[in-house]
Chain A
């Protein structure tokens, strides 16, 4: 214990020293980000990385927001905390971000470029600079209170740390403290060795000057108590989906065991109820769709099934809205699980059984009628509400709210609020998922950057690391840190045995385990241990280096040793997650993996990185709305941009759109945008263009473009792929054979051109999901349901007598579009659901001198065939990847998803980046999306490109090739293998020898494999290092 405290104290000392290095806090910054959830964090990081000083203000005691409470994220089931917490650390270590937690904004004065913000810092009763996070006070505190982080499902103390990865990692004291109530206890003060407890703290007013404000206050979950009819709060075994997230989580109330509240037993029969608080016009409910609940429910079902294999699950739903990238497959995955049943039915909660405390649900099915069934646990899939204090918030910031109580935004710029200089990101715009929140954060970063472009870099400073210790003369001293990753690793791999085993390996002088190696405190503890134990090599046995290596390398730098003395043993993605049923074998494999890693680590050499210049120009591929906006955003901040379009004019798909559901005049907007793009001095538009070659790498690309102007080579530092998508040409339903059958885009055109035949139709049938949600195109095209509503309402406004039928599978009018679905329904548009195996039939018929299209469909309510005689049929045709995507992907060396859309670097947290550095993505090239979503993403991609272009240099890896001249035989094999031109001959006293230009070397190591004598070697992946791993792999 004493030792821990000592170390903790030392850490506190360092933090203070580190603080001193930060810019002098004269309460003056560039941007204030209000709300420290994932969106706020991303906005702060992007801004800080583009040369702005940021205040990140959060009202709770830590940053993290709702995402930190989630167990996993859909549709990949990535561990939520695992992917979010590295961002906490990044914020904490970023010298240009000042994190202010437990702080609220009281007043905002001034205007864009010059705001004065008054903050109210609530008393934590803890001196943040003194608290080491040792939690001795928590141990001694006698007062137990429901833990807000765990949705009050477990108890915590009146003094506690909000959650174990919190940033800042210090305690706070809740109002329930006995001293605060009546001064009857001050045990914590007695036990704190650092005198960090300070009951004299009072609310503190702080004034801060900033140029721009980003609002990211997030959302609240719907409280089912508001409507008394769900039994929440009265029946113990009715929980909300957020409660259930905590129950699933290894850091939750029962360490990841799903135990129901009444008797703390495993439930084996669980019901989920969809749309709780959403799509309801009855008092207390929200009229809109909350957009995320369908997918998160499926996630919970999959995870619960994983926890309790014999689980019986029933999911009562309305439409299944799997409209996002890979959501459709995710739904199929949940639906196919044994014992899982999705039932389309309205439900009501019946009663609580007096003995078992089970809860009954009444529902109805077409075959069996109304039923009442008992469940051991009921989960309410609650929707998303505006932040609880949205009204007060809007008053303080002087921004207007929309009719749903979320922030009112500009339809052509969803990042702008009604007050200039104040931007918005995340779910305060309206219900949305994590990637959309992240995208809008980068977009808000880009727009703030535009406003403050003249002051970029004025207040910021570089990060300073301790001097690197020279350990080359020392023997290898390896430290092994094994991560439990909550239960992700710990539940499968025997972690204590693995730690024990690690200690027996050669060169290992220290081994320990942690719950989350990536938590802020653990990363700091690793850094301290490296110093305390004099470690010179580090192995972290945890997850994949592809996401977490940068974080741990940084930890080594913090500890003053070379960052290349690090190796990651991937015992999660490559072990516990893929061998979850074979615990003994998985443990053996984990031991092998660690042994290989230790062998490798022992041989690693220190390497130094170097800087490459960044060409400040950008190339944008695709001149649609997405491409034009991202190009203009970059140009307006002073960066030369080349906008390459394959057609002869800018505009892309938007040229065929005339109005949006919200009533925007698309053509007027588009023409204005085109004019701006063509006219901007720094936007060079190249139409009729084909890209024939792309060479180079981040910061230094050379792209060859062929156009009517001839062939030109463009040098640029960043590239944005915005190549859009296309409308599927149907082969179904007589399309192409009968002119009365058209696509939705053609219908829109007909409406705008006032096509008489069309507008005088007595009856018009729309068929949804044409060409998608089927085997060969297993995704939802996202935009067609709202698109159909848009055209149906337009037709009704032109000819209200027209009978309009919409034949659909699930109406996916997610978010605020739901209101238009309701409106269409109230204006007598008829909706008929069909099953995929029983699609409608369209026939051209001539009867009684009248020619029409007969559409036959099975009505599921009536259970019989229905024939509709229509004058026109509109097909909601799929959105398909644009032709040429494959070429673009190949040229830029970026991947496509199985559906043919471009594949981003990380579905959740890097939604507009590619894994290949310096290349970004936006618009429908990524996945079908609405115009406003495209606009938001285009700003986001530009924002991400700015994090690169605003720097003069980019750091290149130290893992490059080198030549041992003494054994080079001048055969030239290496030279011919390297198409980067990184290798050449140079004259030496002993003749010509190969020499490598490290700036051009990309570290693929092909030359190493070609060199007959081993003279050329790839650093960090040398033959000896690989042999060491091979030998260790087979030494078990």
Chain B
């Protein structure tokens, strides 16, 4: 008898843990034998502030169902420059970008776990695993093919150097507290700056990425990238002005660089 058994979804979660706190918490969790689901794949870094936006995008682009970042509690960072604040800023920024490229931002989670909090590590893993499981494999809660998400994430990755520059110039967080960070990244001011400085570039980066793959008639771009046609027209205009795209002999648009 042939029986189709629905295989249980077992997500893959990529975890970036700082050596001093969260990795230690995960070790203590093991030593104490607290159990959690076997979905996490750990990458040990010295500080959560080392986590680059491109690490997060890379993980999702390669099909991670969730990304976890674990650092020391705020003001307890092992390092003087307090990299966990950077981790917080990066995570909030990444969530915003993920939202725009169509990855459910709930797939990214940041937690502060000290080396003494073995139980909390297990609890966090149990909870986050359940969350990611409920979202289903990457692409399902997004209702978008993983390949599409990947190409959008590649576009976002292309933009990371620019984002780093803009963050430093224009997006400085005024208050160094968790609340300060959350307020800033949740503020209208930020949204405005984000839309003006980053979002347009993100869309242009996607168009460029798309055109780099193959020449495409202008009218097909909006549909293929699931974008608003008038927005696309605006960007195409600007990109042509800058000489970044041009028409080829067959009236298809191609990337010039």
Contact = CB atoms under 8 A, between A and B. Distances in A.
- Bound pair (A, B): yes
B36 A1030 contact: no
Interface in A958-978: 959, 971, 973, 976-978
A421 to B, nearest CB: 40
Contact of B76 (A577, A895, A973): A895
Interface stretch (B80-88, B94-102, B104-112): B80-88
Given A573-B29, A578-B29, A578-B33, A1008 B38 contact: no
B171 interface: no
A570 B52 contact: no
Contacts of B115: 895, 903, 915
Interface stretch (B20-28, B176-184, B244-252): B20-28
Contacts of A1014: 161
Contacts of A581: 35
Given A1005-B49, A1034-B14, A582 B38 contact: yes
A1004 interface: yes
A364 B168 CA distance: 73
Nearest to B163: A1012
B83 A973 contact: no
Contacts of A1029: 43
A581 B35 CA distance: 9
A589 B46 CA distance: 23
A1003 interface: yes
- Which of B24, B28, B51 has the largest count of A CB atoms less than 10 A from its CB? B24
A1009 B90 contact: yes
B75 interface: yes
B43 A973 contact: no
A573 B23 CA distance: 10
7 contacts: A585-B38, A586-B38, A895-B76, A903-B115, A980-B80, A1012-B165, A1036-B12
B92 to A, nearest CB: 15
Interface string A1003-1019: 11110111111100010
B229 interface: no
A979 B55 CA distance: 24
A328 interface: no
B81 A916 contact: no
Given A306-B33, A1010-B164, A1033 B51 contact: no
A973 B52 CA distance: 14
B45 interface: yes
A1002 B38 contact: no
A58 interface: no
Nearest to B166: A1012
B44 interface: yes
A670 to B, nearest CB: 33
A578 B114 contact: no
B234 interface: no
B63 interface: yes
A578 B36 contact: yes
Given A1009-B50, A1030-B43, A1030-B59, A76 B31 contact: yes
A579 interface: yes
Given A546-B23, A903-B116, A1030-B43, A77 B33 contact: yes
A1005 B46 contact: yes
Given A578-B34, A1004-B50, A1036-B12, 12 more contacts: A76-B31, A573-B31, A578-B33, A578-B38, A593-B41, A596-B41, A596-B43, A980-B81, A1003-B46, A1012-B162, A1021-B45, A1026-B43
B99 to A, nearest CB: 21
A1027 interface: yes
A971 B31 CA distance: 45
A546 B27 contact: yes
A1009 B88 CA distance: 13
Contacts of B36: 578-579
Given A890-B76, A979-B80, A1018-B50, A1026 B45 contact: yes
A1002 B47 CA distance: 11
B79 A1002 contact: yes
B182 to A, nearest CB: 20
A836 B106 CA distance: 44
- Which of B10, B27, B168 has the largest count of A CB atoms less than 10 A from its CB? B27
A281 B229 CA distance: 93
A834 to B, nearest CB: 30
A897 B116 CA distance: 6
Given A1004-B83, A1005-B49, A1009-B86, A1033 B43 contact: yes
B19 interface: yes
A1020 to B, nearest CB: 9
B7 interface: no
Nearest to B64: A1034
Interface in A156-198: none
A310 interface: no
A588 B80 contact: no
A1008 B50 contact: yes
B219 to A, nearest CB: 35
A574 B30 contact: yes
A579 B38 contact: yes
B80 A1033 contact: no
Interface of A: 76-78, 306, 544-546, 570, 572-575, 577-582, 585-586, 588-589, 592-593, 596, 695, 889-890, 893, 895-898, 903, 915-916, 959, 971, 973, 976-980, 1002-1006, 1008-1014, 1018, 1021, 1023, 1026-1027, 1029-1031, 1033-1036
A77 B32 contact: yes
Interface residues of B, number: 61
A916 to B, nearest CB: 7
Contacts of B64: 1030, 1033-1034
A915 B86 contact: no
Interface of B: 10, 12, 14, 19-21, 23-24, 26-38, 40-47, 49-52, 54-55, 58-59, 62-64, 75-81, 83, 86, 90, 114-117, 122, 160-162, 164-165, 168
Contacts of A585: 10, 38
A968 B206 CA distance: 26
Contact of B32 (A76, A893, A1006, A1012): A76
A1009 B34 contact: no
- Which of A544, A573, A589, A897 has the largest count of B CB atoms less than 10 A from its CB? A573
A977 B81 contact: yes
A1011 B43 contact: no
B41 A979 contact: no
A959 B77 CA distance: 19
Nearest to B73: A895
Contact of A1009 (B52, B75, B114): B52
A588 B8 CA distance: 15
A658 B36 CA distance: 51
A1003 B20 CA distance: 13
Nearest to B56: A1030
Contacts of A1036: 12
Contacts of B47: 1004-1006
Contacts of B44: 545
A746 to B, nearest CB: 33
Given A578-B33, A895-B76, A1005-B46, A589 B83 contact: no
B19 A546 contact: yes
A540 to B, nearest CB: 14
B29 A1027 contact: no
A546 B20 CA distance: 9
Contact of B80 (A545, A574, A575, A695): A695
A578 B42 CA distance: 13
Nearest to B165: A1012
Contacts of A78: 31
A903 B37 CA distance: 28
Contact of B35 (A579, A1004, A1033): A579
A1034 B162 contact: no
Given A546-B23, A596-B43, A1009-B49, A893 B78 contact: yes
A1009 B55 CA distance: 10
Contact of A898 (B24, B29, B79, B116): B116
Contacts of B35: 578-581
